[in-house]
Amino acid sequence: MPELPEVETVVRGLKARIEGKRLLRLTLHRPDLRRAIPKGLAAKVEERRVDRVDRRAKYILLHLADGGVLIVHLGMSGRLTLGDAARPAPPQPHDHALMIFEDAIELRFNDPRRFGLIDYARADALPRHQLFRHLGPEPLATDFDGAALARLLAGKKAPIKSALLDQRVVVGIGNIYACESLYWAGLSPKRLARTVQGERAARLAETIKRVLDHAISVGGSSLRDYVSASGELGNFQRHFAVYDREGERCPGCDCRTGIKRIVQSGRSTFYCAKRQR
């Protein structure tokens, strides 16, 4: 599933092309994805200018000039790709939505597994929307630091890896980036979240930001379905320290056992038992 770096990469690609443009036409090819698409959605968004493209957690937000917000979530296999409406590419299986903007800019939403979603809300209602009201803070926000992370983890009995995947604690990190962040912070994924306080929390918060920023700078990770808005693959998978490297040599120490894999909360965790404590 695309995580924060992948979604942020898509958002930045869309910002460069569709901010300030009017959405001329929205064509929907089915009434639902993971959930029902709001009835009459086209009438609510067509002929509105896109004032801002933004992200909240893993949701892509197209803020319209009249105060409406078109919400898109990529799910596990969704893609938002830009094209030229004057020379459109042939329709593809699983093209569920087509948006045409000014200057013949085309935006397609393709989702083979249909775990994504398309929704709509008014901007002032977003914090109370059922998709957003439970979400924790953004890890790239300026006020997300060691002290903030320590408060979020205080009293939590879950392993720190599981806590980082909890969207109520902090949003968007995902399995890959939790593994990588814990590795570079030198923290065991099995450590109880409540013990990550003080210097440990400061080190982890800083590392999370650094790992996410690095991933965004190289376009995120492409393991299966993800591509950027321009159709390009991400490259962060070339920089993995531990993720999906079970049995390989640890890049940061001289351990003989190499990178280990365990399962936590149904997800694979990769780590170095010597380096991470």
Active site residues: 2-3, 58, 267
Can you tell me which residue has the tokens 């509105």? 48
DSSP state of 31: S
Choose among 65, 64, 61, 52: nearest CA to 80: 61
Give dist(CA 105, CA 82) in Å, integer.
Answer: 7
Q: Which long-range contacts (CB under 8 A, 24 or more apart) does 96-99 make?
A: 96/28, 96/29, 96/30, 96/33, 97/26, 97/27, 97/28, 97/29, 98/25, 98/26, 98/27, 98/29, 99/23, 99/25, 99/26, 99/27
* Distance of alpha carbon 49 from alpha carbon 152, whole angstroms: 38
Place of tokens 């923290």: 187
- Going by the DSSP 8-state scheme, the letter that residue 202 receives in this structure is H
